[in-house]
Amino acid sequence: MTPFGLLVRPLAPQGLLSLGDQLVVHACHHHALFLDQTVSDALGGEGWAVRRQAAFESAHALIASFCSDFGVTDPVERLDLATELFTAMGHGRLTFDLTAEGGAVHGHGLHHGASFVEKYGALIKNRRPVDAFTAGFISAAASLAYPSDWGTLEADETTCVAQLAARPPECIFTLTRRPERPRFGAVVTRALVEQIPLAPGDDADRPRHTLRPAADRAVTDLARLLHGAPVDHDGVTRVFGVRLALVPVSYLGQITYDTVHLIEKRSPELFPLVGALVREAAQTGAFHLLGGVLASAAWKAEHGPVSTDPEARLDTLIGLTRALGWGAFQVTEFAPGEALVLAAKATHESAYYAVRHGNTVRNRLFFQQGVALALMQILHRVDFTAEEPIAKGAYDALFKSGQRFHVDETRSPLRGDRVCEVVVTALAER
């Protein structure tokens, strides 16, 4: 099995990544589960349709681009390519039993379903399927293998390992031909992102607290570790204490902003709550992934103990965010324990929104806000001399006494500014 990192190419100026011609990011299961739950809570049963449609659109573009590049036209070969790609991205293993009329697909170790079981076990009695991303991916692969003017092959998850206490051994999806033409929106491709102009910097945007060699080394070293991250038989990548996967930016952006826009239209008073939950998804994902890298044996073997100097630790963390494809972040201000100003000329969420929706007067940089909060938590509230600094429950334990930091989105290219900028400040102690 080819490690997924070998398929990824960087967009160096933007600090972003592409798989084939599609923009992607590295994300862990904590982020995936929290964000999907946010969409479900906000939209109810409609949330499944939103997530599956987003997965269908992003996967259709991704698989089609690889089929075109490799000249794959045979239906079976197209399904084989999609299966290999799905596994190489760390989303699990699929087995197709399919004809042009429909069929079934069996899923093993799926990123959402299996992660749900591992994280929550019997703590949550879930009665709904959770693998909407896989359902959309399967539908895209099947519809590309067996195209028809009459409609697409749509996948429904009829059995999910995350359902009920008696866990089934695998997830099962059934596919049927639906007499509806597929809907496609703009997909965030490498070519489109490269066309987005990056505003020239000025003195106000220059970093004042970073040590560039350390950040550059962090980018190189983490990229190398990701390139060699093993994918097991079930298509699972376990590294840095998390399940890691490559996720299309178009999928993340579409489920986020379709949900936000629907809430703004239907129940605008709930917009702050939904935005806070999307931000929290990014914060918990960044906390576990970034903290897990620093706490890992592989990282310590090359870099030694985690620095106790906040500025040196911050510089390393900034390098890690770039390697993960989250953006070329710069720290323009940093007062340990008090404030952090995190800026970038473009991020994967600003690129998605610009391509898909254009400008806006509202705050939209939820992921960047969450990352900035996670950085402050890791810098000031994690003891990396402990045996397991990012152990299970460590994140929840931080917030038993309440939140200690507040974040504001201060600038955004979506509002006509030069950079994406968020400011984290310490809350006054009560």
Q: What is the pLDDT of residue 203?
A: 43
Q: Is residue 31 located within the same domain as residue 163?
A: yes
Q: What is the CATH number of the domain that holds 228?
A: 3.90.1520
The larger pLDDT score, comparing residue 211 to residue 198, is at 198
Give CA torsion, residues 73, 51, 346, 424, to 10 deg: -160
**301-320 pLDDT tens trace:** 999 999 899 999 999 999 99
Q: Is residue 209 located within the same domain as residue 245?
A: yes
Sign for the pseudo-dihedral over CA of 257, 258, 259, 264: positive
141, part of any domain: yes
C-alpha to C-alpha distance for 323 and 403, rounded to whole angstroms: 28
With pLDDT > 70 as the criterion, what percentage of the chain qualifies? 94
C-alpha to C-alpha distance for 325 and 11, rounded to whole angstroms: 9
CB atoms near residue 124 (< 10 Å): 11
Residue 108 β-bridge partners:
93
- Which of the residue ranges 23-27, 66-70, 228-232, 364-368 would you say has the lowest mean pLDDT? 228-232
Model confidence at 193, in pLDDT bands (50, 70, 90)? confident
**87-133 pLDDT tens trace:** 999 999 999 999 999 999 999 999 999 999 999 877 777 888 999 99
Q: Is residue 122 located within the same domain as residue 160?
A: yes
The larger pLDDT score, comparing residue 398 to residue 272, is at 272
Q: What is the pLDDT of residue 95?
A: 97
Q: Which of 272, 300, 305, 349 is nearest to 27 (CA)?
A: 349
**54-97 pLDDT tens trace:** 999 999 999 999 999 899 999 999 999 999 999 999 999 999 99
Q: Which of 88, 94, 89 is nearest to 106 (CA)?
A: 94
Treating both helix axes as pointing N-terminal to C-terminal, what angle do 310-323 and 212-227 enclose, rounded to 10 degrees?
40
Structure tokens at 362: 């509202």
Q: CA angle, corner 150, sides to 146 and 155, nearest 5? A: 55
Q: Is residue 245 located within the same domain as residue 374?
A: yes
Mean pLDDT of the chain: 90
Asked if the model's pLDDT at residue 159 lies above 80, the reply is yes
Q: Residue 245: which H helix or E strand, with range? A: strand 242-248
219, part of any domain: yes
344, part of any domain: yes
Q: Are 367 and 346 in contact (CB under 8 A)?
A: no
- Which of the residue ranges 30-34, 215-219, 261-265 would you say has the lowest mean pLDDT? 215-219
Task: Sort strands 405-411 and 171-178 into parallel, antiparallel or unpaired.
Answer: unpaired
Calculate the CA 175 to chain-centre distance.
27
Q: Is residue 137 located within the same domain as residue 91?
A: yes
Q: Are 10 and 238 in contact (CB under 8 A)?
A: no
Model confidence at 199, in pLDDT bands (50, 70, 90)? low
Calculate the CA 73 to chain-centre distance.
30
183, part of any domain: no
Q: What is the pLDDT of residue 212?
A: 61
Q: Is residue 266 located within the same domain as residue 396?
A: yes
Q: Residue 120: which H helix or E strand, with range? A: helix 113-120
Residue 159 β-bridge partners:
172
Asked if the model's pLDDT at residue 299 lies above 90, the reply is yes
Q: What is the pLDDT of residue 207?
A: 52
Domain that holds residue 73: 4-178
Q: Is residue 95 located within the same domain as residue 232?
A: no
Q: What is the CATH number of the domain that holds 118?
A: 3.30.1380.20
379, part of any domain: yes
Q: Is residue 339 located within the same domain as residue 287?
A: yes
186, part of any domain: no
* Length of the chain counted residue by residue: 430
88, part of any domain: yes
Asked if the model's pLDDT at residue 225 lies above 80, the reply is yes
Q: What is the pLDDT of residue 249?
A: 96
HSE on the CB side for 277, CA within 13 Å? 20
Asked if the model's pLDDT at residue 429 lies above 70, the reply is no
Q: Which of 256, 295, 411 is nearest to 342 (CA)?
A: 411
Model confidence at 263, in pLDDT bands (50, 70, 90)? very high
With pLDDT > 90 as the criterion, what percentage of the chain qualifies? 71
91, part of any domain: yes
Q: Is residue 251 located within the same domain as residue 373?
A: yes
Structure tokens at 272: 């702050």
Strands (E), 20-87: 22-28
Tell me the H-state helices in 230-309.
Answer: 249-266, 271-295, 297-303
Q: Is residue 324 located within the same domain as residue 277?
A: yes
Number of domains in the chain: 2
For the beta sheet containing 22-28, the strands, ordered from the edge strand earlier in sequence to the opposite edge, are 8-11, 16-19, 22-28, 242-248, 237-239
CB atoms near residue 43 (< 10 Å): 20
Q: Point out the domain boundary residue: 118, 144, 178.
A: 178
Q: Is residue 227 located within the same domain as residue 143?
A: no
Model confidence at 332, in pLDDT bands (50, 70, 90)? very high
Q: What is the pLDDT of residue 1?
A: 44
Q: Point out the domain boundary residue: 127, 150, 178.
A: 178
Q: What is the pLDDT of residue 262?
A: 97
Q: Is residue 320 located within the same domain as residue 392?
A: yes
What is the average per-residue pLDDT within 194-213? 61
Q: For residue 361, what are the CA distances in angstroms to 134, 319, 413?
A: 34, 30, 10
Q: Point out the domain boundary residue: 178, 210, 235.
A: 178
